[in-house]
Amino acid sequence: MQKFKKIAAEKICAATKKIWDYGDLDPTELAGALEYPPDGDMGDVAFPCFRLSKVLRNAPPKIAAALAEEISGDEFSSVTAAGGYLNFKVSSAALLSILSEIEEKGESYGSSGCGSGKTVVFDYSSPNISKPFHIGHLGTTVIGHSLKLLHEFCGYKCVGVNHLGDWGTQNGKQIVAFKRWGNREKVEKEGIDALVELYVKFHEEAEKDPSLNDEARAEFKKLEEHDPENIELWKWFIDVSFKEYEVTYKQLGITFDSYNGESFYSDKMAPQIEKMREMNLLKLDDGASIVDLEEYGMPPCLILKRDGSTLYPTRDIAAAVYRKNTYNFDKCVYVTSSAQSLHFAQWFKVVELMGYDWHGDLVHVPYGTVSIGGAKLATRSGNVVLLKDLFAQSIEKVKGIIEEKSPDLEEKDSVAEAVGVGAIIFKYLFNSRIKDIDFSLDSALSFEGSTGPYAQYTYARTRSILSKAENESFIAEGGDLTASEEEELLRVLSRFPEVIGEALEDYEPSDITRYIIDLCTAFNRFYHNCPIISSDDAEVKSMRLRLTSATSSVLGTALRLICIKTPEKI
């Protein structure tokens, strides 16, 4: 509908000039003000004439009535006034131009190409070593990757960075736990689960004996000073952790361009700290080095602890400088929990105070928390729902459904994995990213309603229809629109470029996820009410095959943009 909004806005400007001799309206601004009526029978797009009341010195209903009488054109079958609104109904012929556009552009339909020549770095996923993926990590991972795919789709060169949490006091805690209670054979056999068990035990024991926290800080300090024993243990913990991470990333279909974690920047922090000193930004506060941000309404940003060890802001600043020098990014996007919003606001401000003119290109994309049955997740207490367990449970449930409904389905295991994992991703990405989520696997796995399996099944249905049409030598070309369901499907298809633009601007994958449901709903209504393969009219059959093919193309693109695989048979 973006195309028709633009045409409607241009016609409003021309009519306003003709009727009132007022030529100062901006078509682009007016196009942005056009809305979708609550009832499709009223029109496809509507302009609220209240916006012109002041400049034209007229009541909105009178403006709407005058514009409705003046505006006409082949693009709109009707232009009517309803109170203070001007409603435009797109003609069938104009809707057909959308179908031709989809066929011409193919998989690039919806892309504006606005990112051509620009580079974006995405920092996402970034698990802490020695800790397994749990459902709390799903947000940064799938939101981050979806945004990367979305930017790539719009022409940006994207660099995906997995900024591993492989440095900091938590590593000291892990080293203490292993030295006190660990067993190498057990860790080799059980992998990251054994490391988590040790991490949880550390926190249990530290509650009884707080001096363990001092011991952990001392072990991390030794790690920073490259103590051979601690370095060897630390590298081993990373190797053990990565064996599990790689399994999860493979299931999600995610790869990264860089795995440079916090430790990579250990030798890159000193120049930035020195720069802060030279600019008199650093102040001593109880032995620690801080940047005072009181005048900006924020607590101080801690750069060095009293013992001289570094912190997250120190490493993040060094990493940002390195990425700018290495990739010359136009944007560097950080996808993390909203709980870290203050942290990012603080060190972004420090980067600005350091005189880096690209500070405005740093973007924090926050998201809400996830819980299971209302319970928050915490590795230190052992209260986690592991992603591998959730995926396994979901895949197993899908296998049961397949055995019951499609026992002869080819490649059942890969389909079950695609649907089981896709169900969890879709459920997570359906709501606005900033909202907190209380996750329910049963609702995620439903084949009805706003779910991943429903969307994937609809896609598989389009592929099945097209496959059958090809086998029967049907040619998908020509024809006219003969049913309201056909027109409605095209209206939904016409919205895809606009949805892409909004998702890109707002860093909001849920815009695409919700659009997928709208498209599936429109297609299934069309499918149930309009015979496709069985139609006796060759031209009608041809048009409906074209609509099916267009839906398949757009739906497949949309699903892939939110990290969901598209099996052709379910």
Tell me which of 46, 70, 90 is where a domain ends: 90
Cα 363 from Cα 458, distance rounded (Å)? 36
| Residues 45 and 62 both lie in one domain | yes
> Where residue 78 sits, what CATH number does that domain have?
3.30.1360.70
What is the CATH number for 491?
Answer: 1.10.730.10
Which one is predicted more confidently, 436 or 498? Answer: 498
Token readout for 518 is 């709208």
Give the global pTM.
0.91
* 57 and 135 part of one domain: no
Indicate whether 319 belongs to any domain: yes
**What is the tens place of the pLDDT at every residue in 141-170?**
999 999 999 999 999 999 999 999 898 888
The pair of structure tokens assigned to 475 is 């040619």
The answer on 415 and 266 residing in a single domain is no
Name the strand (E) or helix (H) holding 282: strand 282-285
More confident residue, 479 or 224: 224
Return the DSSP state at 378: B
- Any domain includes 99: no
Residue 380, pLDDT above cutoff 50 = no
Task: Please tell me the predicted confidence (pLDDT) of residue 474.
Answer: 60
Identity at 438, one-letter amino acid code: D
* Maximum Cα–Cα distance across the chain: 85
From CA 148, how far away is CA 121, in angstroms rounded?
A: 9
> Between β-strands 362-367 and 331-337, what pairing exists: parallel, antiparallel or unpaired?
parallel
Angle of CA points 70, 37, 34, to nearest 5°: 60
> Alpha-carbon distance 451 to 365, whole Å?
24
pLDDT at 528 over 50: yes
Query: pLDDT tens across 319-359, in order?
Result: 999 999 999 999 999 999 999 999 999 999 999 999 999 99
Residue 381: predicted pLDDT: 44
Radius of gyration of the chain (CA): 28
User: b vs e for 526-551, b when ≥16 Cβ sit within 10 Å of the residue's Cβ?
Assistant: bbeebebeebeeeebbbbbbbbbbbb
CA 321, distance to chain mean position in Å, is: 25
Beta strands in 309-352 (DSSP E): 331-337
Amino acid at 52: L
Residues 46 and 73 placed together within one structural domain of the fold: yes
Pairing between strand 157-161 and 362-367?
Answer: unpaired
Based on the fold, state whether residues 123 and 212 are members of the same structural domain. Answer: yes
For 81, the domain range is 2-90
Tell me, yes or no, whether 233 and 342 share the same domain.
yes
Judgement on whether residues 255 and 298 belong to the same structural domain of the protein: yes
Question: Based on the domain organization, do 315 and 435 belong to the same domain?
Answer: no
Which among 338, 365, 381 is the end of a domain?
A: 381
Which 8-state DSSP code applies to residue 472? T
Q: Has residue 569 been placed in a domain?
A: no
What is the CATH number for 225?
3.40.50.620
Give domain status of residue 566, yes or no: no
Residue 379 has pLDDT above 50, yes or no: no
pLDDT of residue 38: 84
Residue that is last in its domain, among 326, 350, 381:
381
The reply to whether 50 and 156 lie within a common domain is: no
Same domain, 436 and 357: no
238 lies in some domain: yes
Q: Indicate if the pLDDT at residue 467 is higher than 60.
A: yes
How long a stretch of residues is the chain?
Answer: 570
Residue 108 lies in a domain: no
Query: Which residues, including other chains, have CB under 8 Å from residue 161's CB and lie 6 or more apart?
Result: 121, 122, 123, 124, 256, 257, 258, 260, 323
Tell me, yes or no, whether 103 lies in a domain.
no
- How many domains are contained in the chain? 3
Helix (H) or strand (E) holding 77: strand 76-82
Dihedral, CA of residue 401, residue 406, residue 411 and residue 413, to nearest 10: 10
Same domain? 426 vs 327:
no
Same-domain status, 253 and 139: yes
Mean pLDDT rounded to a whole number for the chain = 92
